[in-house]
Amino acid sequence: MGERLNELESVEDFTLALEESAKRPVLLFKHSVTCSISVRAFDQLQSYLEQADSRLSYNLITVQTARDISDLAASTLRVTHESPQAILVRNGREVWNASHFDITRSALDEAIRCLE
């Protein structure tokens, strides 16, 4: 059974995700609904989620509707904003990120397995 992708729609949602990263790893996925590369990366994420590790939390930031959250994630985690972008967070810090064509099912799987 696949894992659920939670949409972060407010600063409070983002803050809660960061707090959750103290208990378990959190994956943030920044998505642009108007970018074909982002759509391809989102498909890779969806494919990964079909067999995802249930010990993680999976979160979506849609840049068109939550630009403030996207900018906050970039500044808080000290990563350059990109879209699409996958950011793995543990203890409130970025431990891995990828963007554009580097977001693949196998890259996500490998990054998450390396947390163990």
**79 located within any domain:** yes
- pLDDT for 53 equals 87
As for how many domains the chain has, the answer is 1
Provide the domain limits for residue 52.
5-103
Average pLDDT over residues 33-45: 96
Asked if residue 1 has pLDDT above 90, the reply is: no
pLDDT in tens, 81-103: 999 999 999 999 999 999 999 99
Q: How far apart are CA 88 and CA 90, in angstroms?
A: 7
Average pLDDT over residues 24-45: 96
- Per DSSP, the residues of 80-100 read ---SSEEEEEETTEEEEEEEG
| Percentage of the chain modeled with pLDDT above 90 | 89
Q: Binning pLDDT at 50, 70 and 90, where does residue 2 land?
A: low
**111 located within any domain:** no
CATH number at 82 reads 3.40.30.10
- CB 14 within 8 Å of CB 8: yes
